[in-house]
Amino acid sequence: MSTEIDIRTEAGGLPDPAYETVDFGKPELLARGIHREAVGGYWDELGELQFEFLRQQGLKPDNRFLDVGCGSLRAGRLIAAHLDPGNYYGIDINHSLLTTGYDHELDDAGRARLPRTNLRATDRFDADFGVPFDMAIAQSVFTHISLNWLRLCLYRVAKVMPPGGRFYVTFFEQPEGFPIDGIGWSGRLFTERNAFWYYQDDMRWAASRSPWSFRYMGDWGHPRDQRMVEYTRLDGEVGGSPN
């Protein structure tokens, strides 16, 4: 497999424990579609759902787009085909997922539209490709990370998005009256461990030290009932005064 997809490590090269021993490109794993299951399954359904949602939000071929947590390109293959060549970019924590998706989920025409250099494995949301982005999505990323990781992601994406750019993010929501020590979704959602649930106020707080406005969008048809929010990039420097 190619190693041309860049790897950026800032946390001392510490591996992601969910994937550290997995080479998704092994023939026996490819035959079972493990690289598709590792990003949450629903391969066709969620790929199409994300793509159609973004089109409804006005994604145009000449927009430059960032896919945060793009994994093995479940939605990326569709978004890249819609955009002008070279306008799709993706980051993920797992290099093997990126490489396997690129090599096995894109055909020659898809790879011609999406250079390997537009993908990056990063352990701290390094989305600086040297270009600004008009729109971005993080689908089922905030469901697997802590509040401070949410804040880091929003901070880093704000650095590469001009005022008016929009960042769409999904999360598992609990109502304000739900207890902090409550466990949701049949014992699978927690405040303190993966998979995480959040209040709406948590999602607003995560952006409070970056120049974002917050809009709750709610139900968008996700099969696991993840809810959608929209962050819009405001004027102002990243890392300035809290909102």
Task: Supply the pLDDT for residue 1.
Answer: 43
Neighbours of 241 (CB within 10 A): 8
Whether the pLDDT of residue 241 is over 60: the answer is no
Q: Decide: pTM greater than 0.85.
A: yes
Q: Determine if residue 58 is left, alpha or beta; phi over 0 gives left, psi from -120 to 50 gives alpha, anything else beta.
A: left
Strand order of the β-sheet with 6-8 is 6-8, 119-122, 88-92, 65-68, 135-138, 166-171, 227-233, 212-219
Whether the pLDDT of residue 37 is over 50: the answer is yes
- pLDDT band at residue 21 using 50, 70 and 90 as cut-offs: low
Task: Supply the pLDDT for residue 13.
Answer: 63
Task: Supply the pLDDT for residue 19.
Answer: 55
Q: What is the mean pLDDT of residues 83-110?
A: 96
Distance CA 65, CA 23 (A): 27
Higher pLDDT, 13 or 116: 116
Give residue-wise pLDDT tens across range 128-145.
999 999 999 999 999 999
Phi, psi for residue 8 in degrees, rounded to 5: -115, 115
Task: Supply the pLDDT for residue 15.
Answer: 60
Q: What is the mean pLDDT of residues 74-102?
A: 97
Q: Are 109 and 77 in contact (CB under 8 A)?
A: no
Give residue-wise pLDDT tens across range 57-79.
999 999 999 999 999 999 999 99
Fold (topology level) of 6-10+26-233: Rossmann fold (3.40.50)
Q: What angle do CA 19, 149, 147 make, to 5 degrees?
A: 120
Whether the pLDDT of residue 32 is over 80: the answer is yes
